[in-house]
């Protein structure tokens, strides 16, 4: 939220001539953005519509609050948190990642779901798995789903692909053709349990904020494919700042990413040199994230300081 606000308030887009032209937001010269990285209304050089007024009104309301609780880790967000606490109101407190605080949901059935059995089978065969899921809000077009399917099929990588809706068509005989290497799941899954399974070595994700810290804590590198809202900014952080993932970019901006690109990036993440590099970095960062919520960690201390301040003001 900080970066988009600065872009709008300082008129950073007024001289930007195309959606792909890079620019730096005010006060953050090391960060490079383009208009595609910003969601509405922040990608408009002169935003005036009701949505913009609603967002700004929300910002003014936040400024009058006692503080902001952030589901993140200071080690990930230090540049932004330090700026926020120095230049803006109210104070921000990093107390996450909250996914480490909640236990995995207990499944009602005593029998493990088929996706757990399938992952266990991959583990027994020592066949690393790519987990593929795009959240519950963003919609892929039918043509894009077909390209993803072909790319996964031709990548040679084992994959667990969660698709929303039983009516999604992936082509005649697709699930039968990939049955030796891939599984398509159309029912609810426990994402954290999948990511924590030791045979899962990569995550093709939309980069929603729930998914990013879950992947970090599971020490699983990300193939980022943002689609809406704050996801492009999350993907930029994952790939360019933290170095724990690779990035899918649609052809023509907002167009369809072809199956060749999907295939190549999946292979690079799972068996390539860049995939090995981001895998090492996410393991290091995952350990830091889990340490942050332990006694004496940054999030543990931040929560204690926040409670002390709130009690002192009350």
What are 257-285's pLDDT values in tens digits?
899 999 999 999 999 999 999 999 999 99
Please report, for residues 162, 169, 187, 188, 191, the alpha-carbon distance to residue 165 in angstroms, rounded to integers and kept in the order given: 10, 9, 8, 10, 17
CA distance 204 to 48: 35
The model's pLDDT over 159-216, given as tens digits with 9 standing for 90+, comes to: 999 998 766 788 889 999 999 999 999 988 999 999 999 999 999 999 999 999 999 9
Evaluate whether 92 touches 68 at the Cβ level (below 8 Å). Answer: yes
At the fourth CATH level, which superfamily is domain 114-287? Glycogen Phosphorylase B; (3.40.50.2000)
Q: Tell me, what's the pLDDT at 167?
A: 60
Mean pLDDT for the chain?
Answer: 88
Evaluate whether 161 touches 140 at the Cβ level (below 8 Å). Answer: no
CA distance 195 to 126: 16
Evaluate whether 228 touches 137 at the Cβ level (below 8 Å). Answer: yes
Question: Which stretch of 37-41, 74-78, 291-295 has the lowest confidence by average pLDDT?
Answer: 37-41
| Strand 68-70 versus strand 129-133 pairing type | unpaired
CA distance 186 to 132: 12
Give the residue range(s) of CATH 3.40.50.2000 domains in the chain: 114-287
Band the pLDDT of 18: cuts 50, 70, 90.
confident
CA distance 249 to 294: 37
Rounded to 5°, the CA angle 30-210-91 comes to 60
Q: Tell me, what's the pLDDT at 59?
A: 80
Pick from 177, 241, 190, 246: nearest CA to 218: 190
């Amino acid at each position: 939220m900080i970066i988009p606000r600065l872009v709008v308030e300082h008129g950073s887009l007024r001289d930007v001539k195309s959606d792909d032209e890079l620019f730096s937001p005010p006060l953050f010269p090391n960060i490079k953005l383009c208009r595609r990285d910003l969601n509405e209304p922040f990608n408009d050089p002169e935003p005036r519509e009701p949505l913009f007024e609603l967002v700004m009104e929300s910002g003014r309301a936040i400024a009058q609050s006692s503080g902001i609780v952030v589901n993140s880790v200071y080690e990930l967000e230090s540049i932004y948190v330090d700026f926020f606490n120095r230049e803006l109101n109210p104070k921000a407190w990093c107390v996450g990642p909250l996914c480490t605080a909640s236990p995995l949901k207990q499944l009602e059935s005593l029998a493990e779901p088929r996706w757990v059995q399938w992952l266990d089978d991959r583990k027994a065969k020592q066949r690393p798995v790519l987990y593929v899921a795009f959240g519950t809000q963003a919609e892929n077009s039918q043509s894009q789903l077909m390209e993803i399917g072909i790319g996964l099929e031709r990548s040679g990588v084992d994959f667990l692909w969660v698709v929303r809706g039983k009516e999604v068509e992936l082509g005649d005989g697709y699930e039968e053709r990939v049955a030796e290497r891939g599984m398509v799941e159309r029912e609810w899954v426990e994402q954290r349990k999948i990511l924590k399974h030791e045979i899962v070595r990569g995550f093709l994700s939309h980069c929603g904020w729930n998914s990013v810290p879950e992947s970090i804590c599971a020490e699983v590198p990300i193939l980022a494919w943002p689609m809406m809202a704050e996801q492009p900014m999350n993907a930029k952080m994952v790939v360019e700042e933290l170095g724990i993932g690779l990035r899918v970019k649609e052809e023509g901006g907002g167009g369809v990413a072809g199956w060749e690109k999907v295939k190549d990036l999946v292979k690079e993440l799972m068996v390539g040199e860049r995939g090995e590099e981001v895998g090492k970095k996410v393991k290091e960062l995952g350990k830091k994230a889990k340490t942050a919520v332990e006694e004496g960690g940054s999030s543990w201390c931040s929560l204690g300081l926040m409670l002390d301040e709130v009690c002192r003001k009350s």
